[in-house]
């Protein structure tokens, strides 16, 4: 079974700061099958990054993704007020077919 671990659980930052979110897979995952979602309170998740560095339609370039082996990273270069929320990583393949991480909350310091 593929397990994703996200760190930190919570990231408290101020607007304008850089955010670095980590996701680690328990077993090998093809890097082109790693993605990141943002979820704000009361809203559905939104796809941000996939494959592992392609931005989804309409996603600003302050969001970037990278992968190295079983370690995946989402970086937000300069936090905007609308960027605060919960971020989930997700992988495809293995068992279960789709796995989500537990999430990292980015909140206002």
Partner 1 sequence: QVQLVESGGGLVKPGGSLRLSCAASGFILSEYYMAWIRQAPGKGLEWVSYISSDSSYTKYADSVKGRFTISRDNANNSLYLQMSSLRGEDTAKYYCARYLFGFFDHWGQGELVTVSS
Q: In this chain, which stretch among 14-22, 62-70, 71-79, 86-94 interacts with partner 1, using CB under 8 A?
A: 86-94
Q: Does 59 bind partner 1 (CB under 8 A)?
A: no
13 near partner 1, judged by CB under 8 A? no
64 binds partner 1 (CB under 8 A): no
By CB under 8 A, residue 66 contacts partner 1: no
DSSP 3-66: -EEEE-SEEEE-TT--EEEEEEESS---GGGEEEEEE-TTS--EEEEETTTEEPTT--TTEEEE
The residue from 55, 74, 88, 94 that contacts partner 1 (CB under 8 A) is: 88
């Amino acid at each position: 079974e593929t397990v994703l671990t996200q760190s930190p659980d919570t990231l408290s930052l101020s607007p304008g700061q850089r955010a670095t979110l980590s996701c680690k897979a328990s077993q090998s995952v093809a890097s082109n099958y790693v993605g990141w979602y943002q979820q704000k309170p009361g809203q559905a998740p939104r796809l941000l990054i996939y494959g592992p560095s392609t931005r989804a339609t309409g996603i600003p370039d302050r969001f970037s993704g990278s992968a190295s082996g079983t370690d995946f990273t989402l970086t937000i270069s300069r936090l905007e007020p609308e960027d605060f929320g919960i971020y989930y990583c997700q992988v495809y393949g293995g068992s279960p077919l789709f796995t989500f991480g537990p999430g990292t909350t980015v909140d206002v310091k």
